[in-house]
């Protein structure tokens, strides 16, 4: 569709509404963008579930661990199937081993001794892509 | 938290051939705008957005939007249209629109934003026009 058609539609909408409208073009998300977004949402949801479970125990004395365990096992298995063992280990580290009880964070060290700091799930996804670009 | 809004897709008949005059006479377009505008402005206001997305134009990836500065005049036009319909449902909708206008007015703070000029759209070659 040519831009003049959008202009005609804008003019018509302005006349119908008796106010000013705009026609904008949005960048469509690529498959890669969508996968990244989905990964970040998934990590955030798992993190929030873990925090919620810990809070329930510390604040209310309610232990959800036994109840939640089956869900987390299922999620872990799905992550392992989809991302493979190497990426799955990184995801597990990020979810369960990165944070220390005193609030400090652990970091990774690569083969040559460089520290790798992963602050959020977006950075984690970048690292996973480096290891396995096909995810 | 505001519910996620689903932007409707408008498949307007013969859009590629129509002029602005033809489109103004289109009952399909008019009804769509009058239905969509209050809902999308309410969502945009609750979500603290600067633009309300009225609809997507077919599957083009182009969207008809209304800037915040034009929300109240647009809603007033929709209200006038509903009043003309003169039905019980339309009066109820008018009341909701009136409440929405009041809410927007009460939350409007002076901003540095000016009313935007028409944004250019890209033609098929990717150049701005």
Please report the DSSP string for chain A in residue order: --HHHHHHHHHHHHHHHTS--EEEE-PPPPHHHHHHHHHHHHHHHHHHHHHHHHHHHHHH----HHHHHHHHHHHHHHHHHHHHHHHHHHHHIIIIISB-TTS-B--EE-TTS-EE---SHHHHHHHHHHH-TT-
- Both tokens of residue B59? 């599957």
CA pair distance B123, A88, nearest whole angstrom: 44
Q: Looking at CA atoms only, how far is residue A64 from chain B in angstroms?
A: 26
Lowest mean pLDDT among A14-23, B27-36, B85-94: B85-94
Residue B125 at interface with chain A, using a CB cutoff of 8 Å: no
ipTM for the predicted complex comes to 0.78
**Residue B35's pLDDT is what?**
93
Question: How high does pLDDT run on average in chain B?
Answer: 82
Subunit contact B37:A5, Cβ cutoff 8 A: no
pTM reported for the whole predicted model: 0.56
Query: For B44-58, how does the pLDDT look when each residue is reduced to its tens digit (9 = 90+)?
Result: 999 999 999 999 988
CA pair distance A14, B8, nearest whole angstrom: 19
Per CB-CB distance under 8 Å, the chain B contacts of A25 are 61-63, 121-122
Per CB-CB distance under 8 Å, the chain B contacts of A18 are 73-74, 77
Contact A24, B54 (CB under 8 A): no
Query: For A30-56, how does the pLDDT look when each residue is reduced to its tens digit (9 = 90+)?
Result: 788 889 989 999 999 999 999 999 899
Residue B129 at interface with chain A, using a CB cutoff of 8 Å: yes
Q: Which of B77, B120, B122 sits opposite A19 (nearest CB)?
A: B77
Q: What is the average pLDDT across B75-97? A: 91
């Amino acid at each position: 569709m040519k831009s003049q058609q959008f202009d005609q539609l804008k003019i018509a909408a302005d006349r119908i509404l008796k106010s000013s409208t705009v026609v904008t073009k949005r960048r469509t998300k690529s498959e890669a963008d969508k996968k990244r977004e989905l990964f970040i949402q998934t990590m955030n949801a798992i993190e929030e579930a873990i925090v919620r479970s810990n809070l329930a125990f510390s604040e209310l004395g309610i232990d959800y661990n036994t109840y939640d365990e089956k869900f987390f096992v299922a999620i872990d298995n799905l992550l392992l199937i989809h991302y493979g063992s190497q990426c799955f280990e990184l995801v597990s580290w990020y979810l369960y081993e990165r944070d220390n009880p005193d609030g400090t964070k652990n970091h990774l060290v690569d083969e040559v001794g460089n520290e790798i700091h992963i602050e959020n799930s977006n950075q984690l996804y970048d690292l996973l892509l480096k290891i396995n670009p096909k995810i | 938290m505001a519910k996620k809004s689903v932007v409707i897709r408008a498949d307007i008949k013969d859009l590629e051939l129509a002029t602005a005059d033809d489109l103004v006479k289109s009952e399909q377009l008019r009804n769509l705008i009058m239905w969509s505008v209050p809902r999308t402005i309410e969502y945009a206001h609750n979500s603290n957005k600067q633009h309300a997305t009225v609809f997507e134009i077919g599957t083009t990836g182009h969207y008809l939007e209304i800037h915040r500065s034009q929300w109240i005049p647009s809603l007033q036009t929709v209200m006038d249209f509903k009043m003309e319909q003169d039905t019980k449902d339309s009066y109820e909708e008018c009341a909701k629109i009136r409440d929405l206008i009041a809410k927007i007015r009460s939350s409007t703070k002076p901003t540095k934003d000016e009313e935007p000029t028409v944004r250019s759209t890209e033609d098929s070659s990717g150049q701005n026009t």
